[in-house]
Structure 1
Amino acid sequence: MYDWNDLKAFLAVAETGSTLSAAQTLRVSQTTVARRIAALEAATGLNLFERRQAGYALTPVGEAMLARAADVRDAAERFGEAAGASSRDAGGTVSLTVMEIFAVTILPPILRDLRAAHPEIHLHLDTSDEPRDLASGAADIAIRSSKQPTGAGLVGRRIADNPWTVYCSRDYADRHGIPHTRDELAAHPFIGGGGYVWEPYQAWLRHHRLEDSVVIRYDTSTGLLAGVRSGMGLTILPAFLADREPNLVRCIPTMSDDRTGLWLLTHERLRHVPRVRLVLDFLAAELTKLGRE
């Protein structure tokens, strides 16, 4: 099998008429060009040039092979151009919408590794707790905690189960014990709020007659995390995150009918855009790996 560099030498000599001119074109030594021509002739079993005092002249066989060699060069150049275009497309900005509580806990090391592996990618994080409309272009990718994501044209996958349940800090548990029943929960203060999660959270508290146990309310889910870490009381948090917090303790099991999952989503028009696909695949691999730990 011939070497591609041997074929380049063949084309250069054929086009310039001498190994010296070909060497100047290829920026190698004349000896290297002559050696490559000899190697190509040996590999193919063909006599491609007549060695004359005035230079190298193609033999009839060499003439016949010249067009084919040029086709190989053209194909290689087209491949290089296509690869370059794909590489450029893989670069640029990708916008990611994710709840702030995930953005400040599990995501930073993942995004650090993504940046190290793909420095051509620039990320823009939207940490609003309100779900963004991917169909309208509000973001390229969403990491969303939901039972079943809704929205026009959404495609993606469920990364992990992510039910929400009650947690307290280890320090709090050491001082006050871990409540396991409704009556025990009623004897403890609750941290309420959490932005858009407050509506279902409040409904759960109301259902268990625990609404009066709320002693402070935060506007964001990150506030819930800060409050429970401080040992202020109990709160509801997503299990995918909270079970990985070394300072938190789960108080009660998740509800058997809680089908909440962690979803990685994009819009169907973006699923094959190289830079979006790259980020999707990286996040999917890392979040799935985290879910198995």
Structure 2
Amino acid sequence: MVSGPATSYVLDMQRDADWNDWRAFLAVARSGSTLSAARAMRVSQTTVARRIACLEEALGLGLFERRSAGYALTAAGGALVARAEAVEAAALAAQAQARAAGRSLSGTVRITAEEIFSTALLAPHLLELHETYPEVRIEIDNTIGLRDLAAGEADIALRSSEKMEGGGLVGRRLVADNWTLYCSRSYAERHGVPGSIPGLRAHTLVGGGGGQLAREYGEWIEQAGLADRVTVEQGSATGLLSAVQTGLGIAVLPCVVADALPDIIRCLPPMAERRQMWLLTHERVRHQPAVRAVIDFLYERLSAHVRNLQLRVAA
């Protein structure tokens, strides 16, 4: 375990922002531009700019002056570079230690999650997960129905429910699983954004979503008297997301996914929801080294995703 002043400052920083925001800060400080930083980090320029804005919001400080020639550190930003580099060194040392330990782990870990959560929340972290634990094989099951963890149908579940249902389940709550209606920015430019449920009558809706979502969404559409505004039915929540992104119409989507997408905007406040998103396993396998390592890894990354969303929505 890494110890000393750098480690304590890692904890201080984590209370204020995600480590990836600090990575973006250092990359821009070193290169002087968000474009060069994006290339170094292998992400989009928009992502880098958003992370810098989130960090400044979290700290209440202006870290850079935006100039036509690029980004220049402010006095406050310059004062943080050395401390951020100390944290970077501690983080890299911890990562190297984790990867060394990861080489001793092996086996197959089966993860079950709805396709939209698997694609949007799990997939972005699979490369890092593989690099950290190269001998651990990941199997992802996107079945809409619930897999029985007690029966060994999966080792880990990313699941939305009102409570942990099933004997022997253990896990951690990630975030309230709120859903609401979204449209693309291109759709909004053409048709505007409805400000109320009655206002939806002037818009095109996309229905479906698969499984329990399709039933609940369909019931809501019927109760709101909007059935005649549905022009396409999708068989999965991923299909709903794709339809919204292409500008086809308005559809219900999970906030934990849609709020992270810059080309998607909320039409209405989140619907009243009692469901929570959980990262679950079963007590039978919770202490297996590979399962323990994977669930800890995913919880850390998904929790950071949630924190970033909360900062973005609050801004």
TM-score (norm. length: structure 1): 0.68
For the pair 1:186 / 2:201, whether they are aligned, the reply is yes
Give 2:269's aligned residue: 253
Give 1:211's aligned residue: 227
Give 2:294's aligned residue: 279
Give 2:128's aligned residue: 113
Q: What's the offset of the Cα at 1:106?
A: 2.5
Separation in structure 1 between the aligned mates of residue 147 and residue 172 of structure 2, nearest angstrom = 17
Over 3 Å counting, the alpha-carbon distance change for 1:247 and 1:268 in structure 2 is same
Over 3 Å counting, the alpha-carbon distance change for 1:175 and 1:137 in structure 2 is same
Q: What's the offset of the Cα at 1:147?
A: 2.3
Count of residues paired in the alignment: 207
Q: What's the offset of the Cα at 1:260?
A: 2.3
**2:110/2:138 contact within 8 Å kept:** yes
Over 3 Å counting, the alpha-carbon distance change for 1:177 and 1:87 in structure 2 is closer
Give 1:173's aligned residue: 188
Q: What's the offset of the Cα at 1:149?
A: 3.4
Over 3 Å counting, the alpha-carbon distance change for 1:121 and 1:164 in structure 2 is same
**2:112/2:141 contact within 8 Å kept:** yes
Separation in structure 2 between the aligned mates of residue 235 and residue 153 of structure 1, nearest angstrom = 36
Separation in structure 2 between the aligned mates of residue 246 and residue 191 of structure 1, nearest angstrom = 20
Separation in structure 2 between the aligned mates of residue 91 and residue 181 of structure 1, nearest angstrom = 52
Separation in structure 2 between the aligned mates of residue 150 and residue 206 of structure 1, nearest angstrom = 29
Q: Which runs of 4+ in 1 moved over 6 A?
A: 86-89
3-state SS, counterpart of residue 237 of structure 1: strand
**1:170/1:247 contact within 8 Å kept:** yes
Identity in percent: 45
Separation in structure 2 between the aligned mates of residue 184 and residue 119 of structure 1, nearest angstrom = 52
CA offsets per residue over residues 15-45 of structure 1, 9 Å max, x none? xxxxxxxxxxxxxxxxxxxxxxxxxxxxxxx
Separation in structure 1 between the aligned mates of residue 259 and residue 103 of structure 2, nearest angstrom = 40
CA offsets per residue over residues 138-172 of structure 1, 9 Å max, x none? 10000012222322221101111220100000100
Q: What's the offset of the Cα at 1:288?
A: 0.3
**1:89/1:274 contact within 8 Å kept:** no
3-state SS, counterpart of residue 155 of structure 1: strand
Give 2:84's aligned residue: none
Over 3 Å counting, the alpha-carbon distance change for 1:98 and 1:92 in structure 2 is same
In our comparison, the structure showing a higher alpha carbon Rg is 1
3-state SS, counterpart of residue 158 of structure 2: strand
Q: CA RMSD in A?
A: 1.6
3-state SS, counterpart of residue 170 of structure 2: strand
Give 1:221's aligned residue: 237
Separation in structure 2 between the aligned mates of residue 153 and residue 200 of structure 1, nearest angstrom = 28
Give 1:156's aligned residue: 171
**1:157/1:263 contact within 8 Å kept:** yes
Q: Which runs of 5+ in 2 are unaligned?
A: 1-100, 309-315
3-state SS, counterpart of residue 202 of structure 2: coil
Q: What's the offset of the Cα at 1:87?
A: 7.3
3-state SS, counterpart of residue 156 of structure 1: strand
Give 1:239's aligned residue: 255
Q: What's the offset of the Cα at 1:225?
A: 0.8
Q: Which runs of 5+ in 1 are unaligned?
A: 1-85
Over 3 Å counting, the alpha-carbon distance change for 1:172 and 1:88 in structure 2 is closer
Separation in structure 2 between the aligned mates of residue 131 and residue 89 of structure 1, nearest angstrom = 31
**1:89/1:275 contact within 8 Å kept:** no
Amino acid aligned to 2:209:
G
3-state SS, counterpart of residue 253 of structure 1: coil
Q: What's the offset of the Cα at 1:136?
A: 1.1
Amino acid aligned to 1:273:
Q
3-state SS, counterpart of residue 150 of structure 2: helix
Separation in structure 2 between the aligned mates of residue 195 and residue 168 of structure 1, nearest angstrom = 19
Separation in structure 2 between the aligned mates of residue 261 and residue 90 of structure 1, nearest angstrom = 31
Separation in structure 1 between the aligned mates of residue 190 and residue 232 of structure 2, nearest angstrom = 20
Q: What's the offset of the Cα at 1:285?
A: 0.4
Separation in structure 1 between the aligned mates of residue 245 and residue 102 of structure 2, nearest angstrom = 44
Over 3 Å counting, the alpha-carbon distance change for 1:88 and 1:117 in structure 2 is closer
TM-score (norm. length: structure 2): 0.63
For the pair 1:127 / 2:134, whether they are aligned, the reply is no
